Each structure stands twice: as structure tokens, then as C-alpha cells.
Amino acid sequence: MDNKGANREACDAVTLDNLKLRTLPDTVTYRDGLRMARRRVVLTNGIFDLLHTGHLYYLQKARALGDALIVALNSDASTRALKGPARPVQTEEQRAYALGALACVDAVVVFREPRLTAEIRSLRPDVYCKAGDYTLEKLDPGERAALEAVGAQITFLPFLAGFSTTNLIARIKAAGEI
């Protein structure tokens, strides 16, 4: 077995305890408790494949919009469908673990469908936010309708230019060739 295979096996053998990773029903229960306590809940979603400065900036700003931040994380299958067969670089469990380690993230839920519509309807966020590279017109019509139906405020946060996972992967590949 080569080093790459041995490293992958070692990673697969590690159990990542993540108290912030929840099923959708558990996240709904968590959300209901926050609603009863009159806490403002922010929902965002994404792949968050390799956490970088842009992600961290965005997640901290998103959390500042409310009392709790729930991150809906694209599953591995939905990431491949969106980004191609080479992605994600990290598994959904690894990505959820990294997000769960952040103080600004209160809960993580993996979503497996192509769209977040069911999660929006179930979680009924007070605020839904995306980075500024999105606009109201770029939101999926079904997701937008679900957000409007639950009365969520839709917010677009400033986009921190120069930071993207795709660019980071390219830089890592180039650095390996030096």
C-alpha cells in the first residue's frame, strides 16, 4: 500500500465527535427551543470544502445577524453534482467537524437533496444569508419561495474577493509543483 492509501485508511479510522452535527429532526427541535426563548436564528448553507479566510469572515458576519447560526452543509453527493467528480476534497463528516469547531457556528445539518427547500420549511429561520456573490435573482426560485413563505429576512453579506476554494486548490496544486 502506498503512503496515500495508508493516510486515507488512517483518516477513515478516526471517529470525529461533533456535538454540533445534528439530523434535521434534531435541528428542528433545537430551533424550536431557540424560538421559545425568543432567539433570532440565522441559516446559511454551502459546501465549505476547505475552510479559508473568506468562509471564516462570512460565517462570523452571518452569526452576528442573530443569536444562533445553523449551517446547512451540502452532502458529498450534492457537492459532486455541483462541483464535479473531484470534489469534495474532504468528506461531509470532515467538513461538518471543521464547521463545528468554530465558535460562530451553533449547529450543522447535512442536506442531501439538490435544494434546501425542505430544510428552510422545517427550520423556519428568522434570517437566511448568502455571500455577496449571490443576489435575489440568483437564488433558486423554490428556495426563495420557501424563505418568503416562512417570513425569513434574506440578507446578502459582503463578498470577500480573492478567496475561493477553487482558487485555493489551484494554489495548493501549484505549490506542490515548485
Domain boundaries, the chain: 21-176
Give CA–CA dist 152/41, Å, rounded. 10
Q: What is the pLDDT of residue 175?
A: 76
Predicted confidence (pLDDT) per residue in 7-59, tens digit: 555 556 667 788 999 999 999 999 999 999 999 999 999 999 888 888 899 99
CA distances (Å), origin 59, targets 33, 48, 66, 157: 22, 10, 12, 10
In this prediction the pTM is 0.85
Average pLDDT over residues 149-165: 84
Q: In this predicted structure, what is the pLDDT of residue 53? A: 85
What are the backbone angles phi and psi of residue 96, rounded to the nearest 5°? -65, -35
Topology (CATH) of 21-176: Rossmann fold (3.40.50)
Three-class DSSP category at 81: helix
Q: How far apart are CA 24 and CA 75, in angstroms?
A: 13
Per-residue pLDDT averaged across 67-81, rounded?
A: 96
